[in-house]
Chains A and B, each alone.
Chain A
Amino acid sequence: NAGVTQTPKFQVLKTGQSMTLQCAQDMNHEYMSWYRQDPGMGLRLIHYSVGAGITDQGEVPNGYNVSRSTTEDFPLRLLSAAPSQTSVYFCASTRGGSPRDTQYFGPGTRLTVL
């Protein structure tokens, strides 16, 4: 199993550009999430999904869209990039909602917005 994969690993955007960060998992996990990691702030939840066709907002959803058309894929779209979105983005998946289900993280995407 590849686990959770993310592309690209690095990306530089100009303010106002849009792009999609890709995330896929091959573990048949129901739950998937997107986090951003900023210095001193830990991991903050952007959006999450509890199954194909179901998404919901996390703590910091503004400026981002998600969709979940399949169990495997959970892309994150930046609609109009801003310098405040410079961050490292992690996608994670979880088998389900039981207390014992932990997160499996992808390798991260480092995004710089100029």
Chain B
Amino acid sequence: ILNVEQSPQSLHVQEGDSTNFTCSFPSSNFYALHWYRWETAKSPEALFVMTLNGDEKKKGRISATLNTKEGYSYLYIKGSQPEDSATYLCAFKPGYSSASKIIFGSGTRLSIRP
């Protein structure tokens, strides 16, 4: 059974502070890693697509890095704002079976204190 773990489970951060959290996934049979942002009362939306070891992606104040050899990805938020409050999910796509078998982590729930 493939395990995708995210830590911490929840995080409370002061507005303006920077923060980061982790997604750990199996280091073998890597195909892709996706990050999703999930706001309360909405559906998850894709944030980053990461496919190569060493990938770095950035969207505004949010960035992500990928290490496929050791099986982890970091998501960074610089200068947190209240609108960053959401659950951030990572999703691992293994390469050995149907690419539709995506395994989601349980998410990091981020709350920004004004």
Specify which chain A residues have a CB less than 8 angstroms from the CB of B105 in the assembled complex.
42
Contact with A along B82-114 (1 / 0, CB 8 A): 000000010101000011111111110000000
Known A-B contacts A40-B106, A41-B106, A42-B89; the reply to A105 vs B43 at CB < 8 A is yes
Residue of A43, A45, A56, A101 touching B89 (CB-CB under 8 A): A43
Residue in chain A with minimal CB distance to B95: A99
Residue of B9, B34, B44 touching A40 (CB-CB under 8 A): B9
Residue of A42, A49, A56, A98 touching B106 (CB-CB under 8 A): A42
Contact across chains for A107 and B89 when beta carbons are under 8 A apart: no
Q: Chain B interface (Cβ within 8 Å of chain A)?
A: 9, 31-32, 34, 36, 42-46, 49, 51, 89, 91, 93, 98-107
- The 7 closest A-B CB pairs, nearest first, are A97-B99, A99-B32, A42-B106, A102-B46, A105-B43, A43-B104, A31-B100
